């Protein structure tokens, strides 16, 4: 097993005295499926975005595939971002464009300014987009405008856009928080399958403990910008869930109880 | 405490109405405007218009001339709007907080746009009269500057309205600045922008008529020429042609809007 991602003492201050993240320290092995859980406002989104520098961390190191991302220049950062796919709670698609155009956007990181501006894609890239959409069950919707799709379908477009980057890692920020339970399961199954079949490392922010328990190799619990748990799903006790979620518990404990019963 | 707030609001409203009333009265007294006479002259004005202000067969002979002026005015308005829109798009991209290159340039371009927007087109034409004299250029540039200022503001709002979610996604893929602008920002906001351009063309054709009176060009000039030479029949034909043109353009732009939105 080789380490793909390592965070060393990463901190983030939005304002002077309140730390959104303080001294985050963990590493992720190649091919691992890791969930980050914690109450809203804990710093999950900030943590994910400090990895690909959508948000600049205040201090610390983010080592991805052997290079410290925080030291990279503009060009190096762009190159590294092509290796990291990102999936969002609100899909973040260009809704006025077609499904396949949105998928091909995942290739823009590899393009020169002119090719990118004009949207010039090679035949192989188009073929790959079509293959991915077939794999994700969207072949009938390929030429529809995205604003005509359901939430679950939009998220699958988001997944295809990330996959066409041929990434080493996927960062997923609450990918199912806006979906109904049925679509949520489909999306989580897709992400899990992708992780296994393409050997893509996944770091997934989740709000639901039961989902994290079901899909993850490892769970990281975050509270008030600090890692308070880092271990296997089987090690996540009810007490621990309490600690991660503070007072915001109730049904969460019930979910953990369910797992123990089943 | 709460009662106080309501009372305060009522007092505010009352004092505002009083202020407004005083201003109206003051203006009437200062300008020696006779309100009763103003209203009583309306029927006479209507009667005069009905008996003089209609096109007759003689004025119809001038129709080709008038039509040519109309086409000139419409073309100048369209040219000024579209070229203003092109410049406005650049400034809007530089000025919107989602797409700005950096904070300083963003502020600079927003400020420039605000200055241009707040100078009325009539004022622009007066200023430009000095440099270009009474020519079509004066009208063109007055419309160009006014459209540029207004459209920059409108385009910034169109871009902001779409939000930065897809911009964030494309940045995360490693896409460069220009790819993001052309693949995400413009496709997301283009139909809104076209709608604003159509609105601006309509407005500009109306303004162009008035500016034409000032600059001695286009359909506005045709009107003032006929009017001053007491050819009321021809002048009324000009007005009818303008009204018809405005309706046709409004109809066309509504049709385009339906298709693109
Ligand atoms: N752009 C920002 N500016 C200032 N504070 C922010 C910003 N984004 C997030 N925060 C704050 O940082 C903390 C962590 O937020 P976030 O990472 O979004 O948490 P989560 O994703 O776990 O809900 C919150 O207290 C939030 O208010
Ligand atoms: Mg979040």
Cα–Cα nearest to A217, from A242, A240, A200, A239: A200
Specify whether the CB–CB gap between B92 and B152 falls below 8 A. yes
**Higher pLDDT among residues B197 and B50, named by residue:** B197
Asked if A116's CB is within 8 angstroms of B176's CB, the reply is: yes
Q: Residue B32 has what pLDDT?
A: 82
pLDDT bin (cut points 50, 70, 90) of residue A261 is: very low
Checking if the pLDDT of A189 tops 50, the result is: yes
Task: Please determine, looking at this structure, whether the domain spanning B57-260 carries the CATH number 3.40.50.300.
Answer: no
pTM summary value: 0.85
Q: Whose CA is nearest to atom 12 of ligand 1?
A: A20
Percent of chain A surpassing pLDDT 90:
90
Average pLDDT (B25-33) is: 87
**Higher pLDDT among residues A247 and B21, named by residue:** B21
pLDDT bin (cut points 50, 70, 90) of residue A256 is: very low
Min mean pLDDT across A204-208, A246-250, B68-72, B134-138 is at: A246-250
For ligand 1, is residue A37 a contact (CB within 6 Å)?
A: no
Sort A209 into a burial class: Cβ within 10 Å, 0-12 / 13-18 / 19+. Answer: buried
Min mean pLDDT across A205-219, B11-25, B52-66, B237-251 is at: B52-66
**Closest residue of chain B to A86, computed from CA coordinates:** B172
pLDDT bin (cut points 50, 70, 90) of residue A248 is: low
User: Domain map of chain B by residue range?
Assistant: 2-52, 57-260
ipTM: 0.91
Q: Whose CA is nearest to atom 6 of ligand 1?
A: A14
Checking if the pLDDT of B227 tops 80, the result is: yes
Q: Residue B61 has what pLDDT?
A: 85
HEC states along chain A? CCEEEEEEEEEEECCCCCEEEEEEEEEEECCCEEEEECCCCCCHHHHHHHHCCCCCCCEEEEEECCEEHHHCCHHHHHHHHHCEEEECCCCCCCCCCEHHHHHHHHHHHHCCHHHHHHCCCCHHHHHHHHHHHHHCCCHHHCCCEHHHCCHHHHHHHHHHHHHCCCCCEEEEECCCCCCCHHHHHHHHHHHHHHHHHCCCEEEEEECCHHHHHHHCCEEEEEECCEEEEEECHHHCCHHHHHHHHCCCCCHHHHHHHHHHHC
Min mean pLDDT across A21-30, A73-82, A249-258, B147-156 is at: A249-258
Min mean pLDDT across A32-41, A197-206, B7-16, B150-159 is at: B7-16
Tens digit of each residue's pLDDT (9 = 90 or more) over A208-246: 899 999 999 999 999 999 999 999 999 999 999 999 998
Taking one residue from A and the other from B, the number of pairs with CB-CB distance under 8 angstroms is: 91
pLDDT bin (cut points 50, 70, 90) of residue A68 is: very high
User: Domain map of chain A by residue range?
Assistant: 3-83+168-261, 93-166
pLDDT bin (cut points 50, 70, 90) of residue A257 is: very low
| A90: closest CA of chain B, how far (Å) | 8
Which CATH code, of 1.20.1260.10, 3.30.428.10, 3.40.50.2300, 3.40.50.300, is assigned to A3-83+168-261?
Answer: 3.40.50.300
Whole-number Å distance, alpha carbon A27 to ligand 2 midpoint, is: 21
Checking if the pLDDT of B90 tops 60, the result is: yes
A68 touches B at CB < 8 Å: no
Q: Whose CA is nearest to atom 14 of ligand 1?
A: A43
To 5 degrees, how large is the angle CA B110–CA B114–CA B116? Answer: 120
Q: Residue A249 has what pLDDT?
A: 53
Tens digit of each residue's pLDDT (9 = 90 or more) over A96-127: 999 999 999 999 999 999 999 999 999 999 99
């Amino acid at each position: 097993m080789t380490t793909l991602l390592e965070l060393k003492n990463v901190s983030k201050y939005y304002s002077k005295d309140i730390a959104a993240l303080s001294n985050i320290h963990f590493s992720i092995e190649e091919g691992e499926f890791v969930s980050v859980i914690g109450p809203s406002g804990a710093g999950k989104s900030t943590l994910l975005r400090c990895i690909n520098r959508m948000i600049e961390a205040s201090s610390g190191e983010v080592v991805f595939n052997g290079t410290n991302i925080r030291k990279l220049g503009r060009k190096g950062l762009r190159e590294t971002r092509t290796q990291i796919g990102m999936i969002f709670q609100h899909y973040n698609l260009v809704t006025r464009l077609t499904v396949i155009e949105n998928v091909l956007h995942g290739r823009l990181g590899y393009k020169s300014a002119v090719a990118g501006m004009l949207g010039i894609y090679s035949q192989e890239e188009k073929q790959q987009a079509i293959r991915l959409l077939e794999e994700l069950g969207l072949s009938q919707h390929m030429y529809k405008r995205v604003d005509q799709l359901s939430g679950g379908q939009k998220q699958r477009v988001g997944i295809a856009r990330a996959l066409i980057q041929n990434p080493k890692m996927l960062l997923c920020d609450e990918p199912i928080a806006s979906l109904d339970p049925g679509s949520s399961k489909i999306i989580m199954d897709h992400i899990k399958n992708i992780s296994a079949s393409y050997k893509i490392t996944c770091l997934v922010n989740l709000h639901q403990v039961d989902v994290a328990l079901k899909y993850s190799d490892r769970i990281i619990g975050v509270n008030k910008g600090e890692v308070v748990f880092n271990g296997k799903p089987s090690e996540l006790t009810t007490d621990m869930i309490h600690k991660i979620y503070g007072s915001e518990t109730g049904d969460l404990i019930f979910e953990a109880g369910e797992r123990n019963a089943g | 405490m709460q009662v106080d707030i309501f009372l305060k609001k009522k007092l505010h409203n009352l004092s505002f109405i009083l202020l407004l009333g005083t201003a109206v009265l003051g203006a009437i007294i200062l300008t020696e405007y006779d309100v009763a006479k103003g209203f009583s002259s309306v029927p006479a004005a209507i009667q005069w218009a009905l008996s003089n202000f209609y096109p007759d067969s003689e004025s119809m002979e001038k129709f080709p001339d008038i039509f040519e002026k109309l086409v000139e005015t419409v073309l100048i308005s369209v040219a000024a709007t579209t070229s203003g829109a092109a410049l406005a798009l650049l400034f809007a991209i530089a000025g919107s907080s989602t797409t700005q290159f950096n904070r300083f340039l963003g502020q600079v371009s927003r400020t420039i746009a605000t200055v241009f927007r707040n100078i009325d087109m009539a004022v622009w034409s007066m200023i430009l009269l000095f440099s270009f004299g009474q020519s079509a250029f004066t009208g063109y540039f007055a419309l160009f500057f006014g459209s540029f200022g207004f459209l920059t503001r409108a385009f910034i709002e169109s871009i902001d309205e779409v939000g930065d979610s897809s911009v964030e996604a494309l940045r995360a893929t490693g896409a460069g600045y220009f790819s993001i602008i052309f693949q995400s920002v413009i496709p997301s906001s283009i139909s809104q922008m076209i709608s604003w351009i159509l609105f601006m063309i309509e407005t500009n054709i109306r303004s162009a008529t008035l500016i034409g009176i000032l600059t001695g060009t286009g359909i506005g000039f045709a009107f003032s020429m006929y009017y001053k030479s007491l050819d009321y029949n021809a002048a009324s034909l000009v007005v009818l042609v303008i009204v018809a043109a405005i309706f046709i353009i409004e109809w066309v732009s509504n049709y385009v809007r339906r298709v693109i939105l």
